[in-house]
Amino acid sequence: MSGLQRRPNESFEAFMRRTKKQWQSSGKILQVKKVQFLQSHKSKNMRRRSAIRRVEIAAKIEYLKKVGKMPESEFERS
């Protein structure tokens, strides 16, 4: 929490402007932007399992295309 309170007769827009200015100067916005898109590293087993799953799905789709159960254009990537 920022600890800021709205002043008497202060509009909401002015309060938000003042709050954002303080966050910007304290570095909180930069910290949030860094954390927002941070992805934790997966373990070796998790990476292996997801790779196996991707290969299995690709093989299943390829098989369905060969036997004519699935149109070819449905899973093509642009």
- Sorted by where each begins, the domain ranges of the chain are 1-38, 44-74
DSSP 8-state code for residue 2: -
Residue 74: what pLDDT? 57
Structural contact between residues 35 and 27, judged by C-beta atoms closer than 8 angstroms: no
Per DSSP, the chain holds a count of helices (H) and strands (E) of 3, 0
Pull the structure tokens for residue 73: 């254009």
Q: What is the greatest pairwise CA distance in the chain?
A: 73
Q: Which pTM was predicted? A: 0.43
List pLDDT tens digits, range 14-67: 999 999 899 888 888 888 888 888 778 889 999 999 999 999 999 999 999 899
Residue 77 token pair: 């990537």
Predicted confidence at residue 73, as pLDDT, reads: 67
